[in-house]
Each structure stands twice: as C-alpha cells, then as structure tokens.
Chains A and B, each alone.
Chain A
Amino acid sequence: MFELLDDNHEFDTQISFDGKDHLVPSNITVAAAALLIGAKSIRETPVTGAKRMPLCMMGVCYECLMKIDGVGNQRSCQTLVRQGMVIERQIGATEVEAGYYEA
C-alpha cells in the first residue's frame, strides 16, 4: 500500500490496469502506479504461478515484468505511464504472437 507524498498532484493520466480504468499522476512509472492503485500482484511466475510485485525499482531484478500496450516482458519500473496505456498482469511466460516480429 502506497500513497502520494504531495497532495497537489493532478490525477490526469488515464490508464487501464488489468481491465479497469484508473486515473494516476503523470511522470510516475507503471510499477509505481501499480503500488499506488493497490494492485495485489503485477505478475505470476512462469515456474509455479506465484504472485509477485516489484523488488528493486531500478531495472536490475526483472521482478516487475508486465504486459504493456500488448507487449509482454516490459519492465514496469522503467516505463512511465502514458495517457491511454493498457497495462496487464503478466501470467506465466509471455507468448510470442504470430506476426509480432514481422517487419
């Protein structure tokens, strides 16, 4: 559970998080938005399906991998929220979608 330090932030950025719409401040990372929203987990591991949340917030631990705007394996701690962003929990390993790698 996390909250904003300053009260004067504008909740001006609309994101979809796991199918639900939320307003969050701009200039925060997706991982920070997940904590602010009160997400219980951001992914389930490929090995045992255990629920996980971000660990290091600096891009080295890869615990915060999520599916962002349809692309899996994105480090949510290194990605800033954008208007209209669609963020999904990553369940297990990411599937490679046909056509994704075509030029």
Chain B
Amino acid sequence: MKPSYELLIIGAGPAGMSAACEAARNGVEVCVIDDQPEPGGQIYRNASRATAKQNQVLGKDYQQGKNLVDDFKSYGGEYYANVSVWHLDASNQVGVIKAEENYFISAKNLVIASGAQERAMPIRGWQLPGVMYAGAGQILLKGSGIVPRGELVLAGTGPLLLLLASQYLHAGVKIKAILDTTPKGRIVKSLDKLFSGVQGYEYLIKGASLLHHIKAAKVPYYKHVEGLCAVGLDRVNNVSFASATKAGRKVVNISLDVDTLLLHQGIIPNTRLARAAQCETTWDAQQSCWTVATNEYGLCRQNTYVVGDGARVMGAVASRIQGRLCGLHVAESLSKVDSHNWQVLHHDLLKKLRKENAIRPFLNAVYQPADAYLIPQQGDVIVCRCEEVTLSDIQDAVRLGCQGPNQVKSYTRCGMGPCQGTQCSNTLSHIVAKQTDMPMAEVGELRVRSPLSPITLGQIADL
C-alpha cells in the first residue's frame, strides 16, 4: 500500500468495482480498499465463486455480477480486501487498518462507494435470537451457502423481501408465511409516479414474476400487517400481528410459531464515510433516509465522489453505470481521456443511468415504510441494541429538554455502542422529530467521528 494514489476507492461493490475498471482503463493510478474478504459488495457477494446450485437459486441478476467481479480481479490497479477505514476527513486523508497494521493514505481523488445497509425495523422483540434482517438471510445464502430450516416467517416491505422469498422457494426452503407491512392503498397512491417510470418496466415485470412465484407456491401471504411483534424469552418462539386474512374481511389478531423471523423494510445508504469526509447529506422524504448530495457523476466537491447506493439507493445496475461515469470523470479531470471519447461515452452513460433510475420514484413511494414501523409503538421496545436503550428512555430524555439526537446520545448512551449508531440513528431522529414536532432535516442525525470503526489502543499507539 502506497502513501498516496491518484484515485483511492473505498468499497468493492458494483459502483466501486466499475469506477476502478473505468478509471484504470483510462490510465489512472487506482487503489481499491474493501472491508469484505472478497470483491462483489453485498449484491454480488461471492459471485465469482458461487456453486451451480447457488447460481440457480440466486438467479440471473446475481449471475451478472460474475463478469464484473472477474473484470475487476484483473483490472490492473491495486486491491486490498479486509481493510477497515477508521479515519476520513475533508482533506481526503484516509486512515486504514490492514492486517492489524495502521496506514494513512492521501487520496488525490477519493471515491466513496460504501453501499447500503438494512433500514432498522425496531419492533418489540427484534433483538431476540432467531430474528435477523432478510438481507442477512440472503448474505448467508450467497456467502456461506446456508438456508433456514424449521418454521420461517418473512416480514416487512420492499423488493428484497419478495426476492429472498422467491430465492428460498427455488432452494426448496419452506416459508410458513410472508407478513407484508406495506400500508393499504400504497399502489393507488403511487400511480402518478408510475407513468414517469415506464422506462423501468423491466423492474415491474420482475416484481410481478416474484409475486406470481410466491402465489403459485401457495405461501400464506398476509397483507397490510400491523402491530408486528417478535415474542420469546431467550429466543423468538412466536410472531404476533394483526391482519385481514382475506380482502374485505375483518382485521384479526394472529399468532404464529416461528424459529426464524427475517425482517426487512428497505435499504438505506451507508453515509458514515461520506459524512466523515464532510460531504453534505440531505433528508430524502421519499426514500425515508439521508442521502448524499452529489451530481450524476457522484461528485460532492472537487476530488471527492460518493457513488452508488452509498449516496442514494439506486440498485446494482444503476450503481455500475454511475461507477463507470465516476471513473471516467476522474480520468477526464486528470486529462487522461480525449475529448471525443469523453463526449460520446459520458452522454451514453448518463442516458443509461437516467433510464435505470426512472422507476425509483414509484418504488420509493410504494415501499416507503409505514410510520408505525419507523418509530416503535411501545415504550419498552429497544431502539439502540448495543446499549439497550428503549423508546421510553429516549422520550424521557427529550421531555427533560434534550434538544436533538446528539444530546439524547449523551444522556442515554443511545448510539454509543460498538455499532456507533448504524442501527439506531435514524430511529432516534424520527422519535425526536415526532416528539418535538420538527422536520427531520432540522432534527439532523448523530454526528460521525473517528475512529469510524473500532480499533485497538495498540493500533493507535502504532501510528
């Protein structure tokens, strides 16, 4: 690892790998660092080494990752796996830990391709063993080739939940029920956004085929699920909720025995690195998350880019296109692309990116999480899993006069555990916003500070 690079890319998912390939192709000196053991990100995890059975179960979109991962493996620049970033600042100085050693890298151009993470779903009992994110279920399928056995329930909203259900069915996994928490009337309310999204019709066809697959497999499917709770002492035994068993019927309380409950209500950009680099974030009411302010090339400010799902959720295909655009833009800024090529290529990529993103407003509107699942409904529900801080603890602190999430953190330790708020920050802001009747944009979110990932005193002393 060198002390400086023309281009340093953090993250080897679709956006990061694409940016690396494009920039290196144009003669830029590139280094990619990634915290995972293999390139691919979450979506193309293990794509180059998946077994025939995994490929068959995971489907075509996943298999398309193999080409990119293979291209990336011979892209010509440097690549380091299992590297964690613990420091980042506005001057593009990056502190990393690689094999227990501490390094500082100065990036002339920095691309942050940190990807997305699951949006927390703080229901009662979500901390119990046996409850995981649906994304975790899919990671286990891709990375380790393992699937749930026993009574399995999937609950929440969003395309990933349906995709995972379909993949499990292909794998021969029995699903006891799908509990869809999408509120009533969402599709009708979102129709106006459908017309501007017709370019993305392929996504609608995919969605319809997932639903058809689930229906054909006769998986019990509960719609407009309310009051979802995971019940159990040392592990989840039971899931309780309210739903109408059929359209037009009365809403009834239902309880199902369960061994594994997989939760999902969409994914949100992991903006911690971008915020550490002092990139501006804004509250996106449509995606119900903070997004990073960039232009279409991912540029935040001169020499600093945030691309792909790490800036705003756009999916793997759009992330690949934006990654290429970004890599090309870096090469252009270093005068390594001739102007004709730049004109032709970047216009073509911009057109493709806009086509890919056309469906997003519709998907965002349909799958926007219900308020009841963004803010816990009972005082005893754990918000901060690390420090076991409940809704009541936070509400009490706000009542006592805490002005915002950062002050609540000082009073209650909410967001002060090892995950550093990745799981509770948004919930905390939602709670404060509701209680103080302030918009999310004004409430803000937990501040990000170095060290961005836990490091030992020994590693600090090594500097």
Q: Which of B156-173 contact A (CB under 8 A)?
A: 171
A50 close to B127 (CB less than 8 A): yes
Asked whether A3 is an interface residue with its Cβ less than 8 Å from the other chain, the reply is yes
In the assembly, what is the distance between CA of A58 and CA of B42, in Å? 8
Contact at A51–B139, with CB atoms within 8 Å? no
Decide yes or no: A3 and B147 within 8 Å by CB, A57-B136, A60-B117 being known contacts. Answer: yes
Identify 7 new A-B residue pairs, CB closer than 8 A, beyond the known A5-B145, A54-B132, A63-B385. A5-B57, A28-B145, A41-B235, A53-B130, A56-B423, A58-B139, A62-B419
* Partner-A contacts on B (CB < 8 A): 35-37, 42, 51, 53-54, 57, 82, 117-118, 127, 129-133, 135-136, 139-141, 143-150, 171, 234-235, 259-260, 270, 385-388, 417-419, 422-423, 454, 456-458, 461
Contact B456 A101 (CB under 8 A): yes
What separation, in Å, do the CA atoms of A70 and B132 have in the docked complex? 27
Complex CA distance for A101 and B135, rounded to whole angstroms: 36
Q: When each residue 76-103 of chain A gets 1 if its CB lies under 8 Å from chain B and 0 otherwise, what string results?
A: 0010100000000000000000001101
B37 lies within 8 A of A51 (CB): no
Interchain nearest-CB distance for B387 vs A (Å) = 6
8 Å CB interface, A27-55 against B: 27-29, 32, 35-36, 40-41, 45, 47-48, 50-55
| A73: Cβ under 8 A from any B Cβ | yes
Chain B residue contacts of A29, Cβ below 8 A: 143-144
Q: Establish whether residues A54 and B149, one from each chain, have CB atoms under 8 Å apart when the complex forms.
A: no
A32–B235 CB distance below 8 A: no
**When the two chains form their complex, are residues A1 and B53 in contact, meaning their CB atoms are under 8 A apart?**
no
Given contacts A1-B260, A51-B129, is CB(A56)–CB(B118) below 8 Å? yes
Tell me how far the C-beta of B100 lies from the nearest C-beta in chain A, rounded to whole angstroms.
10
Determine if B259 and A36 form an interchain contact, defined as CB atoms under 8 angstroms apart.
Answer: no
The chain B residue with its CB closest to the CB of A100 is B458
12 pairs from A and B in contact (CB 8 Å cutoff): A1-B259, A3-B147, A29-B144, A41-B129, A56-B135, A57-B132, A57-B135, A57-B143, A61-B385, A62-B418, A78-B35, A103-B458
Chain B residues with CB under 8 A of A58: 42, 117, 135-136, 139
Chain B's nearest CB lies how many Å from the CB of A49? 10
The main secondary structure of chain B at its interface with chain A is: loop
A32 and B143 form a contact (CB under 8 A): yes
Give the Cβ gap from A94 to chain B, nearest Cβ, in Å: 10
For B235, the chain A residues whose CB sits under 8 A away are: 40-41, 51, 53
Is the Cβ of A50 less than 8 Å from the Cβ of B51?
no
Chain A residues positioned under 8 Å from B35 (CB to CB): 59, 78
Interchain CA distance A56-B388 in the complex, whole Å? 17
- A20 CB-CB contact with B under 8 Å: no
Contact of A73 among B386, B419, B422, B454 (CB under 8 A): B454
Whole-angstrom CA separation of A6 from B150 in the bound complex: 17
With a CB–CB cut-off of 8 A, which chain A residues contact B145? 4-6, 9, 25, 28
At the interface, yes or no: A66 with Cβ under 8 Å from chain B? Answer: no
Q: Which residue of A lies closest to B152 (CB)?
A: A1
Cβ B148 vs Cβ A55 within 8 A: no
- Which residue from B57, B139, B422 sits with its C-beta under 8 Å from A57? B139
